[in-house]
Amino acid sequence: MSEVNPSPEYLERLRHSTAHIMAYAVQQLFPNGEHTVKLAIGPPIENEFYYDMEVPRPITPDDFPEIEKHMKAMIKSNVPFEQETWTFDAARTWFAERNQTFKLELIDGISDKDVSASDEGVAEEGVSIYHNGDFTDLCKGPHIDKTGECRHFKLLRVSGAYWRGDSNREQLQRIYGTAWSTREDLRTYLRQREEAAKRDHRKLGRELELFQMHPESPGSVFWLPKGAFIYNHLSEKVRKLNLDEGYHEVRTPLIYDSSLWQTSGHWEHFKEDMFLIDNEDGEPTCALKPMNCPAHMLIYKSKRHSYRDLPYRIHDQGVLHRNEATGTLSGLSRVRQLCQDDAHNFVTEDQIAEEYERILGLFERIYGTFDLPFRCDFSTRNPDKYMGDIEVWNRAEDILESVLKNNQIDYTVDPGEAAFYGPKLDFQIRDSLNRDVQCATVQLDFQLPERFDLIYIAPDGSEKRPVVIHRAICGSFERFIAMLIEHYAGAFPMWLSPIQCVVMTISQKFVDYATEVQNLLLKLNCRVVLDNSDDKIGAKIRQARLQRVPYMLIIGERERDNRTVSVRSREEGDIGAMTLDSFTEKIRDEIDIDF
């Protein structure tokens, strides 16, 4: 039976089991379903589950009621989940009779393994099979006891997914659903999703007039005045922080001859994703930069560097263009034109550790300011695909790991996921829909210094190869702002709010005093606007609240006569009248901050 405080492990079993029930229900949708619906895999995922299958026609959300009906029927019958072990031959025969080619492929995969190594759930001499009622599936389990436990579920969405995640193979239909042990938990989860959708940055971006997109330039952002303010303000703060930390800021071209991209290796790997410029013969000869590093290599190389110059740090917020595939574009999170708080730090091998410490210090300054929780993926060397000296790699990876530990950063290791030219740290933040969004990245690079033949002069006068650290703290400002919008649900902290105060009059009679208040605040570099329209005060407040303005200053007869303002704060509501001095004192520290 369902548990009151279900363990994560129980919920996984529950969701996995619900996926089986759903697969059965989809089979019921089609005549001869067991033979025409080809099942692939159906695992539980965080909070949800899915099942991938090949079906005679695409499933749409319109099919959900019918699928759910069949699911409920099986749940109501409360049949048990029962495990059996079949021999490979028996399983092959059974699934072949039912035309379940994906399952046959899975069985082959299992039989190829050394089964004596007792892979979990895989029997020594065969495969694990689960039945629930009339439904039979190849599955290592585990499952719950009876279908009746899966009462609290809902189908959510449908999409395509490639068999085995390979875009060269069959594309299947994936149906997502969610399942919980109680009705309340299900409701809570669905409500959370609705709440999250309300803070979707695309929706808020439109409502708060921060930015817009147009089909005339898909994937590139039109920043409206308020959004542009946030963008520029943020970029300015980051720029200042980098200058304080010893970075040299540069500005570099957008367009480069293809030879540069050949040198850097991008031509070979990423030509398809670059915006190219053709000559008269239609041959691409130039490209818009998708990243800044080659430009910075040229700058480094333009003079001889002593070990005394290192670390040499170049910061660049240049405009980048990446011709992302159409299907991947998404709001501000995945765009074709972007700027990063990009930097390249040229260091000696001995300086790697300290430089990483310093970079993580920047993280704490910036992410701490926004109170953003992040975690880190540490991608290590792929044994089959790496360049450079294995000793250097090992040392570098040890350094990165110890830096993560020293700074008590929550990280997971992705073995073999590093690029061939160096190990990397990717910093992830959760967006409002609980999706991981990658922002920052810190990557060690042994390759570009080779390709560009970079050197520095060591104390003994010999020429040595520096190491390059690619780093961005915010990552793309576009994506970072998307995340901030959702993190704050549009209610930016005072220092980042495009409008910090609205002075609003009770009636036209008080415009003079209201203007005086406005001018006084303007002198303090407060971003303040005056609402002297004919609307009633309630309407003005509503308007300002919808725009998430931090402070509303209400000016009527009392305020004018006493030379005060009545303050309504975004967070606390009406906080009463105060003198102008006490208000300016109150906001003095909020108006502006540095990282």
User: Which residues within the stretch 305-324 sit at the binding site for RNA (CB under 7 A)?
Assistant: 322-324
Is-catalytic flag, 201? no
Name the token pair of 380: 């290590």
Q: Which residue of 152, 174, 237, 487 would you call a contact of RNA, by CB under 7 A?
A: 174
Nearest distance from C-beta of residue 299 to RNA, angstroms: 17
Contact region for RNA (CB under 7 A) — 117-125, 178-186, 267-275, 338-346?
267-275
Q: Segment 409-428, which members bind RNA (CB under 7 A)?
A: 419
User: How far, in Å, CA of 565 to CA of 582, rounded?
Assistant: 10
Q: Restricting to residues 488-507, which ones interact with RNA according to CB under 7 A?
A: 506-507
Q: Pick the binder of RNA from 296, 470, 487, 527 (CB under 7 A).
A: 470
The dihedral through the CA atoms of 114, 118, 122, 126 has a sign that is positive
Helix intervals (H) in 216-323: 225-244, 258-264, 266-270, 293-301
Cis peptide before 142 (omega within 30 of 0): yes
Residue 43 is a binding residue for RNA (CB under 7 A)? no
CB of 326 to RNA, least distance (A): 3
Task: State yes or no: is 474 an active-site residue.
Answer: no
- Of positions 7, 262, 508, 525, contacts RNA by CB under 7 A: 508
Nearer to RNA, 177 or 498 (CB): 177
Q: Determine contact, residues 360/409, Cβ cutoff 8 Å.
A: yes
Nearest to 199 by CA among 528, 476, 433: 433
Identify whether 309 is a catalytic site residue. Answer: no
One of 143, 151, 470, 540 is an active-site residue; which one? 470
The tokens for 69 are 């009906």
- The pair of structure tokens assigned to 443 is 């990557």
CA distances from 526 to 492, 516, 521, 529, 583 (A): 15, 14, 5, 10, 12
Please give the Cα distance from 224 to 165 (Å, whole number): 39
468 binds RNA (CB under 7 A): no
Binding flag, residue 559, RNA (CB under 7 A): yes
Minimum separation from the CB atom of position 346 to RNA (A): 16
Show the beta-strand stretches assigned E in 150-275: 152-162, 171-180, 211-212, 222-223, 248-249, 255-257
Q: What is the smallest separation between the CB atom of 7 and RNA, expressed in angstroms?
A: 25
Note whether 539 and 552 are within 8 A (CB). Answer: no
Q: What are phi and psi of 124, to 5 degrees?
A: -60, -45
Under rule CB under 7 A, residue 88 binds RNA: no
Q: Give whichever of 123 and 517 is closer to RNA, judged by the CB atom.
A: 517
Residues 202-241: x where in contact with RNA by CB under 7 A, - otherwise, as a string: x---x------x-x--xx----------------------
Q: Of these residues, 15, 16, 237, 344, which one is catalytic?
A: 344
Could you say which residues in the range 323-352 bind RNA, by CB under 7 A?
A: 323-331, 334
Q: How many residues bind RNA (CB under 7 A)?
A: 71
Query: Is 542 one of the binding residues for RNA (CB under 7 A)?
Result: yes
- Cβ pair 347, 471 in contact under 8 A: no
Annotated catalytic residue 342: yes
Q: How far is residue 40's CA from residue 62's CA, in Å, rounded to a whole number?
A: 22
Give dist(CA 203, CA 207) in Å, integer. Answer: 6
Residue 177 binds RNA (CB under 7 A): no
Instruction: Give me the catalytic one of 150, 293, 474, 526.
Output: 293
Q: Name the catalytic one among 38, 266, 289, 424.
A: 424
Taking the complex as a whole, how short is the minimal distance between the CB of residue 344 and RNA, in angstroms?
A: 11
Rg for the chain, CA atoms, rounded: 30
Catalytic residues: 293, 322, 340, 342, 344, 424, 470
